[in-house]
Amino acid sequence: MTPSKGTLGKDRGYIIAIGGAERKRNNPRILRRFVELCGGEEARISVIPTATESDGTGDRYVRIFRRMKVGDVVCLNIKERDDCYRDDYSSRVEESSGVFLSGGNQLRLSTILGGTPVARAIRRLNADGLHVAGTSAGAAIIPEHMIAGGKSGPTPTRGAVQISPGLGLTNSLIIDQHFRQRDRLGRLLTAVSYNPFLTGVGLDEDTAIFINPKNEFEVVGSRAVTVVDPSELKSSSVSSAKRGQAINLVGVKLHVLASGARYNIDTREVTLPEAGH
Amino acid sequence: MTPSKGTLGKDRGYIIAIGGAERKRNNPRILRRFVELCGGEEARISVIPTATESDGTGDRYVRIFRRMKVGDVVCLNIKERDDCYRDDYSSRVEESSGVFLSGGNQLRLSTILGGTPVARAIRRLNADGLHVAGTSAGAAIIPEHMIAGGKSGPTPTRGAVQISPGLGLTNSLIIDQHFRQRDRLGRLLTAVSYNPFLTGVGLDEDTAIFINPKNEFEVVGSRAVTVVDPSELKSSSVSSAKRGQAINLVGVKLHVLASGARYNIDTREVTLPEAGH
């Protein structure tokens, strides 16, 4: 899906993609920053735990956000496509200042939410100011092109990555998560090799990007974000490689960005924090 | 890539996806209809044979279009990414009334054209009235989500299809080609199962869809087009299926449409030609 067109004069909400395993008790700075964006104690947050089949996840995030003094936080217990047609769920999304997508399996998210009123509401409202955060699988589904699965390892190979249509809040990034913890550079390089209009973003655990309405993101968290920019790619051999074979990629630009660094998705420029900050 | 925003007041050009092996000499009604749309003898057509490594393909289409009395037809001989930065190629696209993408390997098209000035020109100008046709691989790359490859057979299975980012002239369809000739229903069903916001279109050989600016298409050709509409899908088991395992899909709607039938992509309504026509 492509980003929804917003109402004239309204800013898009933030899009927050977290690499999974974010801190939840001791200095949970990513979740706290999300809560502050959504209005702090005035925030109205909806947790969507659809990516996981484990029953406790949604309630766990509800408790975490309550501990941060969010007065109004609920879990939308969406387990199948029919649940996405419940009017009370769509209205709750309408009334929220933030939506949080848990981790699990991103294909559960896309198959259950895809094309339903809840997905349409999230897309439309994000374009008009709703903040949307996702961790792990919840981060993977945010862009139009979603990494659904793939192989570990540093080398790009034909077939190393499976791509599926995602939620489409952004159409210029493709996002991978648990990035260095699960050794996923090869599959991210493979993903951008297929069509070099995409910029690849690999999120380490406990690390997030906060994309502002102007399409600039800031890195927040304890580890780093790897950006793979193929805009000056000279050539990619993916079309002639056989399944499992390594791909030649000539001229990919790579950045590793730690907390505080900023990246402009449109101009592809990096801004580093001043020394000492 | 998502469809480019057009200039206010201008209609999008037609988008024409052909299932491959279209007739070229004896009653070539698909190619003839494309030529008529582009202005007949006044047409200015650019052939892009990038999908194939075979040298004769571009010139062959130039000869075919000349035989149809098109006065101005050239082949843009794009073989690598650097060619897509040639100013004369971008200007030629600017001045064209139609662009024709040949068959071959759709991953060659996406890796060589993706993110370059030629791809941007095609996207921008299609939004403002340029007609864009593609056959076989050239049809596959037209949508935002492109079928890059997959397995034959009627049953959807996890991993039966590889999806990559395409050119993005339309974002609501996913297109397969050589459809019944190569037994591809299973991989098209797999593709829509990943995210049921997509409508699947399977094009038989010598059969095309002509998508008009109002997002309605007409079937033209000697065989048929299979439409897979998952808008009322109850459930899909793709997220829990193992690689190679068959997928449960409950509630997919299917249409088989022959020449003259019309389908509205937005309302999902079919209009059949009157009997006797």
Tens digits of residue pLDDT in B187-216: 999 999 999 999 999 999 999 999 999 999
* Residue A136 bears catalytic tag: yes
B19 within 8 A of B136, measured Cβ to Cβ:
yes
Tens digits of residue pLDDT in A102-133: 999 999 999 999 999 999 999 999 999 999 99
pLDDT at position B5 is 80
Name every residue whose Cβ is closer than 8 Å to that of residue A185 and which is 6 or more positions away in sequence. Answer: A153, A154, A179, A202, A226
Name every residue whose Cβ is closer than 8 Å to that of residue A212 and which is 6 or more positions away in sequence. Answer: A14, A218
Asked if the structure places residue B147 within a domain, the reply is yes
> What's B75-97 look like in SS3?
ECCCCCHHHHHCHHHHHHHHHCC
Domain count, chain B: 1
Asked if the structure places residue A83 within a domain, the reply is yes
Residue at B11: amino acid letter: D
* Residue B178 bears catalytic tag: yes
Number of residue pairs across A and B with CB atoms under 8 Å? 122
Show residues of chain B in contact with A148, CB under 8 Å: 194
Assess A232–B contact: CB distance below 8 Å, yes or no. no
Show residues of chain A in contact with B239, CB under 8 Å: 105, 107-108, 110-111
A136 within 8 A of A103, measured Cβ to Cβ:
yes
Q: Which residue of B has its CA nearest to A198?
A: B115
Assess B196–A contact: CB distance below 8 Å, yes or no. yes
Whether residues B195 and A80 touch (CB distance < 8 A) is answered with: no
Tens digits of residue pLDDT in A163-209: 999 999 999 999 999 999 999 999 999 999 999 999 999 999 999 99
Neighbours of B86 (CB within 10 A): 15
Supply A224's token pair.
Answer: 């780093």
3-state secondary structure of A270: strand
Q: Which of A97, A178, A193, A218 is catalytic?
A: A178
pLDDT at position A4 is 82
Whether residues B165 and A105 touch (CB distance < 8 A) is answered with: no
Assess A189–B contact: CB distance below 8 Å, yes or no. no
> What's chain B look like in SS3?
CCCCCCCCCCCCCCEEEECCCCCCCCCCHHHHHHHHHCCHHHCEEEEECCCCCCCHHHHHHHHHHHHCCCCEEEECCCCCHHHHHCHHHHHHHHHCCEEEECCCCHHHHHHHHCCCHHHHHHHHHHHCCCEEEEECHHHHCCECEEEEEECCCCCCECCCEEEEECCCCECCEEEECCCCCCCCHHHHHHHHHHCCCCEEEEECCCEEEEECCCCEEEEEECCEEEEEECCCCCEECCCCCCCCCECCEECCEEEEEECCCEEECCCCCEECCCCCC
Supply A62's token pair.
Answer: 């509800």
Whether residues A144 and B197 touch (CB distance < 8 A) is answered with: no
CATH code of B228's domain: 3.40.50.880
Whether residues B163 and A164 touch (CB distance < 8 A) is answered with: yes
Tens digits of residue pLDDT in B72-123: 999 999 999 999 999 999 999 999 999 999 999 999 999 999 999 999 999 9
Assess A4–B contact: CB distance below 8 Å, yes or no. no
Give the position of tokens 């019309």.
B262
pLDDT at position A3 is 79
Residue A231 belongs to what domain range?
15-263
A78 within 8 A of A48, measured Cβ to Cβ:
yes
Residue at B142: amino acid letter: I
pLDDT category at B6 given cuts 50, 70, 90 is confident
Question: Residue B1 pLDDT more than 70?
Answer: no
Question: Residue A90 pLDDT more than 70?
Answer: yes
Question: Residue B53 pLDDT more than 80?
Answer: yes
The closest CB to that of B236, out of A111, A144, A193, belongs to A111
Q: Which residue of A has its CA nearest to B50?
A: A239
Mean pLDDT score of chain B: 95
Mean pLDDT on A55-79: 97
Assess A186–B contact: CB distance below 8 Å, yes or no. no
pLDDT at position B3 is 79
Q: Which of B46, B144, B145, B178 is catalytic?
A: B178
Cα distance between residue A235 and residue A255, in whole Å: 19
Quote the minimal CA–CA distance from A20 to chain B in Å: 19
Strands A249-250 and B44-48: unpaired
Q: Look up residue A248 and give its DSSP letter.
A: -
Tens digits of residue pLDDT in A203-229: 999 999 999 999 999 999 999 999 999
Tens digits of residue pLDDT in B145-175: 999 999 999 999 999 999 999 999 999 999 9
Residue at B222: amino acid letter: S
Mean pLDDT on A40-45: 97
Show residues of chain A in contact with B85, CB under 8 Å: none
pLDDT at position B138 is 98
Query: B-contacting residues of A 104-123, CB under 8 Å?
Result: 105, 107-108, 110-111, 114-115, 119
- Which whole-number Å values give the CA distances from B89 to B16, B49, B93, B132, B211, in the listed order? 21, 13, 6, 16, 26
Percent over 90 (pLDDT), chain A: 94
Tens digits of residue pLDDT in B206-262: 999 999 999 999 999 999 999 999 999 999 999 999 999 999 999 999 999 999 999
Torsion angles phi and psi, residue A56, rounded to 5: -80, -15
Cα distance between residue A43 and residue A99, in whole Å: 10
Whether residues A193 and B235 touch (CB distance < 8 A) is answered with: no
Mean pLDDT score of chain A: 95
Asked if the structure places residue B77 within a domain, the reply is yes
Question: Closest Cα to residue B224, out of B242, B206, B237, B241?
Answer: B206
Q: For residue A253, how far is the Cα from the chain centroid?
A: 21
pLDDT at position A268 is 95
Whether residues A107 and B194 touch (CB distance < 8 A) is answered with: yes
B159 within 8 A of B238, measured Cβ to Cβ:
no
pLDDT at position A1 is 55
Cα distance between residue B203 and residue A246, in whole Å: 32
Show residues of chain B in contact with A171, CB under 8 Å: 1-2
Question: Residue B63 pLDDT more than 80?
Answer: yes
Whether residues A233 and B81 touch (CB distance < 8 A) is answered with: yes
- Which whole-number Å values give the CA distances from B157 to B184, B200, B242, B247, in the listed order? 12, 16, 9, 5
The closest CB to that of A105, out of B168, B196, B239, belongs to B239
Show residues of chain A in contact with B105, CB under 8 Å: 239
Cα distance between residue A255 and residue A253, in whole Å: 7
Asked if the structure places residue B2 within a domain, the reply is no
pLDDT at position B8 is 83
Report the range of poorest mean pLDDT among A1-15, A236-250, B127-141: A1-15
> What's A62-105 look like in SS3?
HHHHHHCCCCEEEECCCCCHHHHHCHHHHHHHHCCCEEEECCCC
Residue at B31: amino acid letter: L
Hey, of A195, A232, A240, which one would you mutate to test binding to chain B, going by the most B CBs within 10 A of its CB?
A195
* Residue B80 bears catalytic tag: no
Asked if the structure places residue B8 within a domain, the reply is no
pLDDT at position A276 is 60
pLDDT at position B274 is 84
Supply A157's token pair.
Answer: 């190979």
B56 within 8 A of B65, measured Cβ to Cβ:
no
pLDDT at position B277 is 52
